[in-house]
Amino acid sequence: MTETVHVYAGECTTTHRSSDDSCHQRGRVVVVHKPDGTVLVHDAEGYQPVAWLTRAEAVHRETDGDGGFAIVAVKDRERLRVESHGDPDHARHDATPAGTRVGTCRKCDGTLVRARGAVTCLDCPAEYGLPRDAAMLDSTCDCGLPRMAVERGARFELCVDRDCEDLDGAVRERFDREWSCPDCDGDLRVLRERTLYLGCENSPDCEETFTLPDRSVVGTCDCGLPRVPSDSGRGDDPTCRGDSRCLDADCDETPETV
């Protein structure tokens, strides 16, 4: 989604104050005010800004009658003020997230990129949130959007638009009531509260819950829970049961060996 970045250039005095320090600098600099409230002051040397305030709670721009400006950013006990001298330049530029191109927007034919946990269109507000471990595929859904692969006990290949293909629904269809609760022998249901997890159907009498595996299941433990490849397993073969462990790290059942 397009937002506006303000860029100022000229001779400025920068004052950065915190609860225990104060710093004043003057020079010909470039000042960048980003849509998230971040203000960066760059001079001619190095890649790091000489002063900055990240995601300020408030940013104010003051002007005078001669074209000068002052930018004041405030966050907690920090205050950054950049005041111009002479005749500074000011420009506005469209800006978007930057990421790897993954397809074409079905709404406006703009470019889709994967950036910051989402697939985002560079030309319109279209955005599709991704699971943190999603891998983009080369294939395209019938709706025109890219597809992703996610492991939740098994590998699921789905459209990035959850309204088109629902990850929660696919996981429930495959694994709901697949395993028994080790505490009461009730069935484990696939539930969501911020994230997918396994919860006993006899809740609230039984409070057992388990994180849904983020890798492919390779079997069932004697306690009733799924077995997954161990963190120190050999290679990438998910069918290697000799290096599997119970989903419950505290399970007392004897680990499987080859």
Give the phi and the psi of residue 118 in degrees, each rounded to 5: -155, 160
Eight-class DSSP state of 221: -
**For 3-95, CATH number?**
2.70.180.20
Quick: pLDDT tens for 114-166. Answer: 998 999 999 999 999 999 899 999 999 999 999 999 999 999 999 999 999 99
pTM of the shown model: 0.72
Closest CA to 126 of 144, 95, 105: 105
Spell out the domain ranges in the chain.
3-95, 100-172, 176-246
What one-letter code names the amino acid at 219? Answer: G
Around Cβ 230, how many Cβ atoms within 10 Å? 16
What one-letter code names the amino acid at 169? Answer: G
Quick: pLDDT tens for 188-202. Answer: 999 998 889 999 999
What one-letter code names the amino acid at 44? Answer: A
